[in-house]
Amino acid sequence: MSPVADPGAGPLAGRSALVTGGGSGIGLATAERLARDGATVTVCGRTEEKLARAVAAIDRAAGGRADAAYVVADVTVEEQVEAAVAAAAATGSLDILFACAGGAFHMGPMAEADAAAVRATVDLNLIGSFLSLKHAAAAMSSTGGGAVVLMSSGAGHFPHRWLWAYGMSKAGIESLCAYAAEELGPQGIRVNCVRPGIIDDELMSMITAGGPLLDDYLAQTPLGRVGTLEDVAEAVRFLCGPESDWITGECLAVDGGHHLRRGADYSLLFGPGD
């Protein structure tokens, strides 16, 4: 872990951030990173117990000096997203949004797909990101601008076999990023994406524990290792901080070079590949 600085003197002091999906994983690691640099951080998610633990972890990461809170909110429910944005902006402004909430409800061949599971995947990833961006942009435009970072995936940029429902929803997020960056730039709002590869977190633990799919990932990753939560958190911190004030519409791959080769073959989770 990086040394703990005085949050009140950090480069993000005076800025307010909302992290969706901030109860665990990349969202929590990023919330901790923002708090260490002085931001006031609000995390949201669907499980209150997890969020309460997250706020305690954020405070510990900032040496007990964090200004952190949580709001229970489902990003697919617009009224709850609006309430989360309002809570994060209660300090007077919303300066940073990291729309991290996401997941997958379908994996497998297209011809066998359950349409409801595919819709749920798109709703969570793409529509949830849109709703978060919509309400954050309204808050930011009234106070002079801000920085938005959306969560894409390598699967949204190039095919990962059998991960197509998740991938197409993430591809939509990259398109949303470009459209939003163009439209919102005159209002002082920057919009960028991070595009992680395989990350060693609880959601990917069944893969990172070992097996044919992990072997496939590593064979297609030039730097030859799994990513860490901190790898992504540092990239998000850069994109929402003053160091990137002239960057917008960018999709930053944080994947050890995986995008230079081919996508992973998720059929390996179910047996030998064809």
- Whether 217 is catalytic is no
Residue 185 DSSP one-character state: G
Which residues are 51's β-sheet partners? none
Question: Which residues have CB under 8 Å from 189's CB, separation 6+?
Answer: 137, 140, 141, 145, 146, 147, 148, 180
Residue 221 DSSP one-character state: -
Residue 271: φ, ψ to 5°: 145, 180
Q: Which two tokens mark 65?
A: 């000096």
Q: Where are the beta strands (DSSP E) in the chain?
A: 16-20, 40-45, 68-72, 96-99, 146-151, 189-196, 251-254
Q: Which two tokens mark 166?
A: 């998740």
Q: Which of 166, 179, 217, 266 is catalytic?
A: 166
Residue 68 DSSP one-character state: E
Give CA–CA dist 179/104, Å, rounded.
24
Number of residues that make up the chain = 274
Residues marked as catalytic:
166
